[in-house]
């Protein structure tokens, strides 16, 4: 049990143990529960930073647990997993702060925060998974950890949403299980490696491997909300705001996108995929999802449903980036969008939660002149919205820029058209919100004025969106610096021979 393995285990345990303790805590121990949450997340962030430094200097972190011949659990820290781990742990801290403020006096919070920590543990597990079996293990456990969160309110609507979510997630899981076993039956047990499995299998099992690739993408696509499989996402909006923030920015959707990245880069490898010629199919699905998500977002009047549909379209940028796997620029764009989209989306959901919590605003039509009442929240919202559209100083622009360069370099210009059209659509459904908020006058009283105080809303609700909005701006401005997400993504892509 060398130091590297100890580090990996302690990263996982730093949110698992608080989760278990919180489960056993009686309901009224608020301060202890918040304290546990905070030290858990702070310890996790520090450990993750130590691991990132280790990975940067080439140190190998790996734990193997053999189960049965041919199946072993493997946790390994490689640059790609470090990216997703850092994103999850940072956003978990912010979401915990937000959730403590949001659920001020609601019932059975021990359950909520218990499942909350379990969910992050499983997300970190997905990030650190070293082979498809471990990925499958944590992927299925993610559904179980998030289900109680989705139905936290216990109303009939949330239960129907939960049932729907389970139906999609478990069918995807079953397809994924069958595909993983089938792949292992052909290719034999293999870990994630820079170039995927050896091309000799292509000659003998070409068509079967293509079919398995499609199954794998379907299995992972359910959580990445690719079009035919996205039905559960808008319905999961019935959950409380911190849950929808967690689901859409940090855990579930990102796990799906991360799965696509793993399959494309580490399981099949760029070279094999080009030989199999299945990439146009992936880019077609991704492009269709981008357009379809944006078009549907236009028609939604409910703020959170509009954000949900915009998530569906935004996540497919990552799939788009992965579908042009032969272009290094496109891969960089896709990977860096993984982080940027998380930051922007979580800011939007924090602001939507604030509006709902303080002024009881759920619909966009009710947001006229809200900026006067809540300037800071709307400022954060605007920064994130502009980022989603891809206006230069923000992170959104960086990732779209690289995706555009990649598609041009690869010669498939129609993807550039898709990018431009989707940016226009983003503008079309985000700018009216900003115009309503900033330039319209307030018509009539707010639906329910829940909070009046020195600041526009409770401090615990206000600080997280401001911090993430600041990161959205900062990461965009200092994109070329040493420590920015873009630099780390370049470090990752350098490891792959594309």
427 binds other proteins (CB under 8 A): no
Binder among 91, 126, 127, 136 for other proteins (CB under 8 A): 136
User: Of 496, 323, 311, 329, which Cα lies nearest the Cα of 403?
Assistant: 329
210 binds other proteins (CB under 8 A): no
Tokens 């639906």 label which residue?
Answer: 447
On whether the CB atoms of residues 488 and 85 are closer than 8 A, the answer is: no
Directed axis angle between helix 30-56 and helix 79-102, to 10°? 160
- CA–CA dist 352, 355 (Å, integer): 5
On whether the CB atoms of residues 419 and 407 are closer than 8 A, the answer is: yes
Q: Which residues 100-119 are close enough to bind other proteins by CB under 8 A?
A: 107-108, 111
**H or E element: which one contains 68?**
strand 61-68
Residue nearer to other proteins on the CB measure, 21 or 137: 137
Using the contact rule CB under 8 A, the part of the chain among 62-70, 85-93, 419-427, 440-448 near other proteins is 62-70
Binder among 32, 46, 60, 66 for other proteins (CB under 8 A): 66
Using the contact rule CB under 8 A, the part of the chain among 90-98, 162-170, 261-269, 313-321 near other proteins is 162-170
137 binds other proteins (CB under 8 A): yes
Query: In whole angstroms, how close is the CB of 151 to other proteins at the nearest point?
Result: 5
**H or E element: which one contains 47?**
helix 30-56
Residue nearer to other proteins on the CB measure, 127 or 471: 127
Binder among 19, 162, 387, 410 for other proteins (CB under 8 A): 162
Binder among 29, 30, 163, 490 for other proteins (CB under 8 A): 163
**H or E element: which one contains 23?**
helix 3-24
Residue nearer to other proteins on the CB measure, 170 or 438: 170
Radius of gyration for the alpha carbons in the chain, expressed in angstroms and rounded: 22
Using the contact rule CB under 8 A, the part of the chain among 116-124, 167-175, 277-285, 452-460 near other proteins is 167-175
One symbol per residue from 177 to 196: x for binding other proteins (CB under 8 A), - otherwise; what is it? xx--xx-xxx----------
- Binding-site size for other proteins (CB under 8 A) equals 39
Binder among 68, 200, 452, 483 for other proteins (CB under 8 A): 68
71 binds other proteins (CB under 8 A): yes
On whether the CB atoms of residues 278 and 211 are closer than 8 A, the answer is: no
Using the contact rule CB under 8 A, the part of the chain among 163-171, 324-332, 339-347, 480-488 near other proteins is 163-171
Tokens 């959205």 label which residue?
Answer: 472
Give φ, ψ of 68 to 5 degrees.
-125, 165
In this structure, what DSSP letter does residue 71 have?
E
- Residues whose CB falls within 8 Å of the CB of residue 58, separated by 6 or more in sequence, listed in order: none
- CA–CA dist 80, 495 (Å, integer): 10
Residue 230, helix vs strand vs coil: coil
Residue nearer to other proteins on the CB measure, 132 or 351: 132
- Neighbour tally for 319: CB within 10 Å: 27
Binder among 159, 379, 431, 474 for other proteins (CB under 8 A): 159
User: Among the residues of 151-269, which ranges form H helices?
Assistant: 156-187, 200-224, 232-235, 241-245, 252-261
Query: In whole angstroms, how close is the CB of 107 to other proteins at the nearest point?
Result: 7
User: Among the residues of 107-155, which ranges form H helices?
Assistant: 109-128, 132-150
Using the contact rule CB under 8 A, the part of the chain among 31-39, 45-53, 152-160, 462-470 near other proteins is 152-160
221 binds other proteins (CB under 8 A): no
1 binds other proteins (CB under 8 A): no
Using the contact rule CB under 8 A, the part of the chain among 132-140, 280-288, 301-309, 415-423 near other proteins is 132-140
Residue nearer to other proteins on the CB measure, 13 or 177: 177
On whether the CB atoms of residues 54 and 61 are closer than 8 A, the answer is: yes
Query: In whole angstroms, how close is the CB of 26 to other proteins at the nearest point?
Result: 10
- CA–CA dist 197, 68 (Å, integer): 21
Residue nearer to other proteins on the CB measure, 115 or 317: 115
On whether the CB atoms of residues 451 and 458 are closer than 8 A, the answer is: yes
The vertex-252 CA angle with 431 and 478, nearest 5°, equals 55
- Residue ranges that bind other proteins, judged by CB under 8 A: 65-71, 107-108, 111, 136-137, 140-141, 144, 147-148, 151, 153-156, 159, 162-163, 166-167, 170-171, 173-175, 177-178, 181-182, 184-186
């Amino acid at each position: 049990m060398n130091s590297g393995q100890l580090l990996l285990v302690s990263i996982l345990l730093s949110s698992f143990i608080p989760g278990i303790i919180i489960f056993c805590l009686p309901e009224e121990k608020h301060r202890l529960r918040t304290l546990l949450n905070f030290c858990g997340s702070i310890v996790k962030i520090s450990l993750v930073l130590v691991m990132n430094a280790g990975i940067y200097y080439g140190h190998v972190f790996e734990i193997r647990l053999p189960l049965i011949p041919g199946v072993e659990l493997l946790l390994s820290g490689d640059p790609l997993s470090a990216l997703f781990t850092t994103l999850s742990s940072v956003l978990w801290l912010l979401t915990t702060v937000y959730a403590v403020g949001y659920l001020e006096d609601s019932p059975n919070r021990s359950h909520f925060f218990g499942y909350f920590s379990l969910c992050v543990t499983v997300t970190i597990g997905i990030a650190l998974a070293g082979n498809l079996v471990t990925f499958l293990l944590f992927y299925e456990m993610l559904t179980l950890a998030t289900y109680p969160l989705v139905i936290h309110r216990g109303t009939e609507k949330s239960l129907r949403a939960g049932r729907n979510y389970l139906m999609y997630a478990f069918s995807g899981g079953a397809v994924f299980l069958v595909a993983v076993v089938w792949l292992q039956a052909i290719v034999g047990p293999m870990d994630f490696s820079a170039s995927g499995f050896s091309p000799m299998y292509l000659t003998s099992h070409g068509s079967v491997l293509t079919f398995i690739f499609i199954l794998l993408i379907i299995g992972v696509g359910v959580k990445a909300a690719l079009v035919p499989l996205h039905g559960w996402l808008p319905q999961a909006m019935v959950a409380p705001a911190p849950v929808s923030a967690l689901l859409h920015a940090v855990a579930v959707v990102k796990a799906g996108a991360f799965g696509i990245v793993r399959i494309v880069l580490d399981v099949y490898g760029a070279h094999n995929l080009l030989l199999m010629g299945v990439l146009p199919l992936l880019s077609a699905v991704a492009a269709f999802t981008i357009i379809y998500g944006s078009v549907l977002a236009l028609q939604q009047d409910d703020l959170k449903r509009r954000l949900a549909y915009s998530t569906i379209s935004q996540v497919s940028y990552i799939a788009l980036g992965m579908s042009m796997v032969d272009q290094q620029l496109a891969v960089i764009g896709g990977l860096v969008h993984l982080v940027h989209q998380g930051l922007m989306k979580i800011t939007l959901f924090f602001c939507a939660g604030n509006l709902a919590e303080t002024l009881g605003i759920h619909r966009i039509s009710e947001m006229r002149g809200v900026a006067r009442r809540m300037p800071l929240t709307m400022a954060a919202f605007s920064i994130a919205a502009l980022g989603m559209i891809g206006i230069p100083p923000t992170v959104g622009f960086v990732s779209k820029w690289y995706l555009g360069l990649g598609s041009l370099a690869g010669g498939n210009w129609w993807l550039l058209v898709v990018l431009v059209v989707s940016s226009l659509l983003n503008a079309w459904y985000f700018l009216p919100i900003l115009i309503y908020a900033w330039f319209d006058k307030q018509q009539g009283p707010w639906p329910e004025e829940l909070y009046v105080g020195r600041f526009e809303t409770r401090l615990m609700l206000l600080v997280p969106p401001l911090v993430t909005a600041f990161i959205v701006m900062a990461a965009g401005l200092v994109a070329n610096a040493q420590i920015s997400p873009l630099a780390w993504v370049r470090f990752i892509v350098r490891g792959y021979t594309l």
